[in-house]
């Protein structure tokens, strides 16, 4: 079994902001797997599906971003899933809009949602898919930038990125992290 978690902030005011890129990927996966992400469980909205014969739980934590680890830990404990089978999808300001990076493990890299997950799981050893949202403009506050919305041009690029990130999650499960990294990290 796998858990695929898209990071974001709950409530309408954060819908479709840069920081909610993970939520948008989970929505794409939900459509792909023909499942609704509506079950309230373990501080998250969840859905269920099958990818490559493996059961998967799709999750959108309903804690705020900085507390994402509370929800991820609760889901992992409930389903008895080890960190290496928990895929985290989140926004990254160090990547160009739409660029993806798949990793087997790593540090938080300054992302508060990932810091929280590492603290609650007690390890950095979980796969992740970083979705580039672009660098903040000079002089702009980082929080204002990531809580802002994509421009029309960026939205078109990001829609494709969300589909690609969903594909990357599927490939992580069916073919393993090396195959997903080789396929998606090479793309610009």
Task: Just list the catalytic residues.
Answer: 19
- Structure letter (DSSP) for residue 150: P
CA distance 81 to 112: 22
CA distance 135 to 109: 14
Q: Which residues contact 38 (CB under 8 A, 6 or more apart)?
A: 45, 47
- Structure letter (DSSP) for residue 34: T
Q: What are phi and psi of 76, to 5 degrees?
A: -60, -45
Q: Is the dihedral of CA 144, 14, 121, 127 positive or negative?
A: negative
CA distance 166 to 4: 10
């Amino acid at each position: 079994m796998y858990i695929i978690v898209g990071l974001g902030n709950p409530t309408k005011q954060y819908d479709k902001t840069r920081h909610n890129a993970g939520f948008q990927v989970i929505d794409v996966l939900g459509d792909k797997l023909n499942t609704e992400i509506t079950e309230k469980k373990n501080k998250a909205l969840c859905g269920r599906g099958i990818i490559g014969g493996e059961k998967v739980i799709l999750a959108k934590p309903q804690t705020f971003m900085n507390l994402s680890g509370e929800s991820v830990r609760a889901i992992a404990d409930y389903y008895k899933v080890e960190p290496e089978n928990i895929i985290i999808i989140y926004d990254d300001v160090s990547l160009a809009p739409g660029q993806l990076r798949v990793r087997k493990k790593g540090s938080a890299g300054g992302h508060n949602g990932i810091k929280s997950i590492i603290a609650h799981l007690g390890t950095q050893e979980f796969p992740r898919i970083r979705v580039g949202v672009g660098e903040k403009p000079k002089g702009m506050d980082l929080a204002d930038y990531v809580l802002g919305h994509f421009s029309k041009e960026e939205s078109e690029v990001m829609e494709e990125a969300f589909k690609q990130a969903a594909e990357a999650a599927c490939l992580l499960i069916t073919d393993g992290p090396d195959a997903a990294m080789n396929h998606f990290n090479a793309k610009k």
